[in-house]
Chains A and B, each alone.
Chain A
Amino acid sequence: MNSAEDMKALTVQAVDENLDRVQGMVEEMLEGAGAQIKVIYTVAIAIEEMFVNVCHYAYEGKTGDVKVEAGIFECEDNGDGATHGVRIRLTDSGMPYDPLAKEDPDITLSAEERSIGGLGIYMVKKSMDSVDYEYSDGHNIFTMEKRF
């Protein structure tokens, strides 16, 4: 696997308006690596969920930056036909918040009983091959990987 040094980085203000730039960087990278449209789509959604989460909650009404790093790595085919993977890491310096600690929504409830929270992170957990959170040196660091 490649080290973090091989990842492309983009630091932007944590506002929804910057989502396009962040998704664009990763989409371009995936297209260049020959990823199928379905993979690009799945990764774009995961980026939206995690990036917007930082925009809305990390800085508690104030503004701050989020660093987005992304890189393609080669991997062993473990039977799923995937030979590559994409790793995406979001780092912010907002309040400590572990999105993975949130309980999964009960997806068997009816429309009336369903609440609107927790859906985004749940979609990310289900669609990515790995997700990881750590808090280090005043930073929230969220990393996710998708094989393709």
Chain B
Amino acid sequence: MEIVKKQDGSNLIISLEGRLDTTTAPQLETELKQSLDGVQALEFDLAKLDYISSAGLRVLLSAQKTMNKQGEMKVTGANDELKEIFDVTGFVDILNIE
């Protein structure tokens, strides 16, 4: 999985490419631990993400919890398959999906 970060002051856009699964979720978790300090607006751009499993959902949930304390978070670009997963798991109500 590729993680691309674009930071502009307290705005951070994280673009994910490939698969966010059991193997790659820890990579994103580590990245977030180092990146969210002082961030007030976080965007996950999932336009190039093909796949998400529960391990990936857990990292997004944890990011959402962090951002609830310090600002806002949104998820953009999710394809239909990802949207269906968000729907089935109730994540549509937890995440701000655009």
User: Which A residues are closer than 8 A to B by beta carbons?
Assistant: 16-17, 19, 38, 41-42, 44-45, 48-49, 52, 107-112, 114, 116, 119-120, 122-123, 126-127
| Residues of B close to A19: CB separation below 8 A | 21-23
Number of interchain pairs (Cβ within 8 Å): 59
Q: When the two chains form their complex, are residues A110 and B94 in contact, meaning their CB atoms are under 8 A apart?
A: yes
Given A48-B22, A119-B54: A114 and B81 interface contact (C-beta under 8 Å): no
Q: Is chain A's binding surface mostly helix, strand, loop or mixed?
A: helix
Q: Which residue of the partner chain, among B88, B89, B94, contacts A111 with CB atoms under 8 Å?
A: B94
Given A45-B53, A49-B54, A111-B94: A123 and B89 interface contact (C-beta under 8 Å): yes
Number of interface residues of B (CB under 8 A): 24
| Residues of B close to A52: CB separation below 8 A | 22, 55
Which of B1-9, B39-47, B58-66 touches A? Answer: B58-66
Q: When the two chains form their complex, are residues A38 and B53 in contact, meaning their CB atoms are under 8 A apart?
A: no
User: Which B residues are closer than 8 A to A by beta carbons?
Assistant: 21-23, 50-55, 57-58, 61-62, 64-65, 68, 81, 85, 88-90, 93-95
Smallest CB gap from A108: residue in B: B90
In the assembly, what is the distance between CA of A120 and CA of B58, in Å?
10
